[in-house]
Amino acid sequence: MSPAVQGTIVLVVTIVALLSGAPVAFALGAVAIVFLVLFQGADSLGVVAETLYSGLHDFTLVSIPMFIMMGAAIGSSPAGRDLYEALDRWLYRVPGGLVVSNLGACALFAALTGSSPATCAAIGKMGIPEMRKRGYPAEIATGSICAGGTLGILIPPSITFILYGIATETSIGRLFLAGVLPGLLLTSLFMLWTVFYIWWKGFRAYAPEFRYSWRDKFRSVPKVAPFLIIVVGVMYVLYGGIATPSEAAGVGAALCVVLAVTIYRMWSPAAWWRILRETTRESVMILMIIGTAVLFGYMLSSLYITQTLAQAIAAAEVNRWVLMAMINVFLLVAGCFIPPAGIILMTSPILLPIITQAGFDPVWFGVIVTINMEIGLITPPVGLNLFVVNAIAPDVPTRTVLLGSIPYVGAMLLALVILCIVPEIATWLPDTLMGPAGPGR
């Protein structure tokens, strides 16, 4: 049987397994083992344990549970509420100021947690009821939170960038820096659409004479400032070459736990247990996906499927931007069905040699992949943020949430176009702060 036929069979079976509702890690592992045995015999089972172990035998992976613990400590505290209130007091005079405040809070909370669902839930629990109470349209209240939550996987520290860096052997420090300006660009596009929409509707959340005093504004800062200082500190030691990603993540996690306990008086064993439980659950899930994705990649390579695909694309001799458009369409469709971690770990090792041969920067491509994953988080049928918002506002019809999210999907697609036209938005900061990188990045 030719590698092309084998690849087609593997593709169909993998899609069926992932859409069956089975956990991504178990689906990938089962498909890899079945096809290794089917095409290479029972003797191939001898490499399964070794391959799984080699996939997890990387000290950089320590940063994943540490950054997750950092997000769990902040997510379990009222930090999201305080961020939301602080920004609301400073931005309430802007048209649609409350929605803009929520988007700003999402961006800052994303920098604290690196998690999209955590950002969506933490800000949405406060923001959606408050926006609806003040009369904002339900579609803008829910759609803005869906979109704002996706910033959690783009603005560093980002678990998605860590996974991409591990899968493609790209510098995680460079990827983190590459996500800063695109994250700000996307946040600005979200805010611009919101301000325009609210201005167009002629809506005001406050009476014209309403004002927060300067004392009220500054009183909201002290509780959130220490967390933001920690994020800046973690980024500084990471980009300054003072610490590795794992070391920076460990110190950041410890400091966030200490601050959550001291500022918000989270002394009870139940609060500690919640932080440790969430950290363990998320970490084990992601690490299992990493291990089985490495096994899946080994299966594709050993059956010569990966090499055949790369050769077929190279032989097509299409314009490199046509190639990039095809890859983007593939990532967008895949993101609608498969979680970001699974897509990145499965496809990045396959796509990397293709995009580097076409002359694209792997760091820039990491940002492109991540924005595609963001779109998948707010598009059906498996849009994770849609489920989070539905849980927060169950009385809002799913159709309304989707209608509110569509303009923000448009903003993400516009960001992709801008990044293709001006790739320096992603590459300038890492090249400036860390110096130009070699071909391997």
Tell me which of 162-171, 182-191, 237-246, 256-265 is least confident: 237-246
Distance of alpha carbon 95 from alpha carbon 202, whole angstroms: 9
Q: Residues 310, 316, 317, 323: is their CA dihedral positive or negative?
A: negative
Asked if pLDDT for residue 392 goes beyond 60, the answer is yes
204: left (phi over 0), alpha (psi -120 to 50) or beta: beta
Asked if pLDDT for residue 287 goes beyond 80, the answer is yes
Distance of alpha carbon 70 from alpha carbon 81, whole angstroms: 17
Tell me the mean pLDDT in the region 380-394: 78
> For residue 318, which amino acid is it?
V
What is the structure's pLDDT at 20?
A: 78
What is the structure's pLDDT at 424?
A: 94
**54 CB-contact burial (10 Å; exposed 0-12 / middle 13-18 / buried 19+):** middle
- The pLDDT confidence band at residue 246, using thresholds 50, 70 and 90, is confident
Is residue 11 assigned to a domain? no
Count: domains in the chain: 1
Is residue 2 assigned to a domain? no
Asked if pLDDT for residue 91 goes beyond 80, the answer is no
Tell me the mean pLDDT in the region 58-77: 78
What is the structure's pLDDT at 62?
A: 80
The SS3 call for residue 161 is helix
Asked if pLDDT for residue 208 goes beyond 60, the answer is no
What is the structure's pLDDT at 162?
A: 87
To 10 degrees, the CA torsion angle through 389, 377, 247, 260?
0
What distances in angstroms separate CA 134 from CA 96, 100, 104, 120, 174, one per listed residue? 11, 14, 19, 20, 42
Q: Is the peptide bond before 381 cis (omega within 30 degrees of 0)?
A: yes
Q: Is the peptide bond before 157 cis (omega within 30 degrees of 0)?
A: yes
Distance of alpha carbon 315 from alpha carbon 259, whole angstroms: 56
What distances in angstroms separate CA 238 from CA 58, 136, 172, 174, 350, one per listed residue? 18, 41, 10, 10, 28
Distance of alpha carbon 50 from alpha carbon 195, whole angstroms: 54
- The pLDDT confidence band at residue 118, using thresholds 50, 70 and 90, is confident
Which has more pLDDT, 317 or 12?
Answer: 12
Name the average pLDDT for the chain: 82
Quote the pTM value.
0.79
DSSP character at residue 380: S
- Residues near 402 by Cβ (< 8 Å), separated by ≥ 6? 380, 386
Is residue 22 assigned to a domain? no
Tell me the mean pLDDT in the region 337-365: 86
> For residue 337, which amino acid is it?
F
- The pLDDT confidence band at residue 98, using thresholds 50, 70 and 90, is confident
Which DSSP string do the residues of 389-428 spell out, in sequence order? HHHH-TTS-HHHHHHHHHHHHHHHHHHHHHHHH-THHHHH
What is the structure's pLDDT at 425?
A: 95
Is residue 30 assigned to a domain? no
Residue 30 · residue 17 · CB < 8 Å: yes
Asked if pLDDT for residue 206 goes beyond 60, the answer is no
Is residue 120 assigned to a domain? yes
Residue 392 · residue 125 · CB < 8 Å: yes
Asked if pLDDT for residue 207 goes beyond 60, the answer is no
Which range has the top average pLDDT, 97-106, 172-181, 213-222, 372-381? Answer: 172-181
Across 23-96, the runs of DSSP E, i.e. the strands, are none
Residue 374 · residue 318 · CB < 8 Å: no
Residue 163 · residue 341 · CB < 8 Å: yes
Residue 70 · residue 253 · CB < 8 Å: yes
Residue 66 · residue 246 · CB < 8 Å: yes
Is residue 261 assigned to a domain? yes
Distance of alpha carbon 8 from alpha carbon 292, whole angstroms: 20
- Expressed as residue numbers, the domain containing 217 is 58-434
The SS3 call for residue 221 is coil
Is residue 12 assigned to a domain? no
Is residue 253 assigned to a domain? yes
Tell me the mean pLDDT in the region 74-94: 74
Span between the terminal Cα atoms of the chain, in Å: 37
pLDDT tens for each residue of 141-155? 889 988 988 887 888
What is the structure's pLDDT at 209?
A: 55
Asked if pLDDT for residue 357 goes beyond 60, the answer is yes
Tell me which of 100-104, 158-162, 230-234, 280-284 is least confident: 230-234
Asked if pLDDT for residue 441 goes beyond 60, the answer is no
